[in-house]
Amino acid sequence: MGNYILRRLLLLIPTLLGILLLIFVIAYVIPADPARAWAGPKARPEQVELLRQRYHLNDPLYLQVYYYLKNLLHGDLGISATTKRPVLDDLKHFFPATVELTIVAFTLSILMGVPLGILSAVKRNSLVDHISRVLALLGVSTPLFWLGLLVQFIFYFKLGWLPAGGRCEVDLQRITGFVILDSLLTHNMPALVDALKRLVLPSFTLAFYSMGYLVRITRGSMLEALQSEYVVTARAKGLPQRVVIYRHALKNALIPPLTVMGIRLGWLLAGTVLLETIFAWPGMGRYAAGSIVQVDLPAVVGYTLISALVMVFSNFFVDILYSLIDPRIRLGEKAR
């Protein structure tokens, strides 16, 4: 196990280097002039040229990558051309909002997707199964932006039950950057209520999109497990249905859903650009969207690197969990 973990951690280096190189290649070939976008339409040519020299935009691609890696080793992700602040400080500021939204959405997707998938498999071809499959189909096929606008239209514009966007508009002492946690630590109940209300629509939208995948994978995995020989034998022994499902079938059917959970967690945390823009959520996704519009390459590269780290580590932890769920899996070791 130890050798496997070490090898996976070492593999992160070429993976991240490849992602970084790909980002720079894409940025290098875009038709827009980053220096002109940063300086503004009224900037003089010498001001634009000064920005090009400052950010090494006139240098060849390999030199740009070299300078960036050199600074990266010192924890420097560059200076945002939009905010004029270090990109690392910007990401630290926006990261808690994205994490908070992601954790709530991820929890909701599991609470909705896994039980529905199990119930759908146990009651195959019943009304519950048909409803679960329809919900799963809607989840995987509904565009995220359309669902976000739809729930805003219904619950904010028509019914007026929930806010349309934002994070928290009640004065709150910031301690950790996580609004829910800070409101609990400071016993600020109005801020807690306001934060929870504003979390409902974006977290549900994000969770519904991932819930569909979990329902489909869990249902298929459970159906396969319920038809296996060890489950048939357990039923033949007269074991209760609850014991057969949860002790024998579910444990062996968890690996495929766990894979999807790990992938979706990384996607939720790193792929909230569109959703945060729709709901005016002050997280990394909205920061990245604004940076793309302004051709803010340091910010875009920094956000992409953080997103890549999230995705890689999500898959890494899923692989580790495999061995805890199924002891037959030997990670990095020969079966004995």
Domain boundaries, the chain: 2-72, 90-325
What dihedral angle (degrees, nearest 10) is formed by the CA atoms of 279, 285, 287, 293? Answer: -90
Tokens of 321: 């969990």
Q: What is the pLDDT of residues 286-328, one digit of tens each?
A: 888 888 888 788 888 888 888 888 887 777 777 777 666 665 5
Q: Per DSSP, what are the bridge partners of residue 86? A: 79
Phi, psi (degrees; rounded to nearest 5) at 70: -60, -45
pTM, two decimals, is 0.81
Mean pLDDT of 76-83: 82
Model confidence pLDDT, tens digit, residues 31-61: 677 777 777 777 788 888 887 887 777 878 7
Contact 226, 249 (CB under 8 A): yes
335: confidence class by pLDDT, cuts 50, 70, 90: very low
The candidate with the shortest Cα–Cα distance to 126, out of 219, 209, 238, is 219
Q: Could you tell me the two tokens for 241?
A: 């249905």
| pLDDT for 142 | 85
Domain covering 90-325 assigned CATH 1.10.3720.10 in the classification: yes
Number of C-beta neighbours around residue 56 at 10 A: 14
What is the Cα gyration radius of the chain? 24
What 3-state DSSP class applies to 78?
Answer: coil
Q: For residues 214 and 4, which has the higher predicted lDDT (pLDDT)? A: 214
Looking at residue 201, its pLDDT comes to 92
The whole-angstrom separation of Cα 94 and Cα 175 is 14
Q: Is the dihedral of CA 61, 65, 67, 68 positive or negative?
A: positive
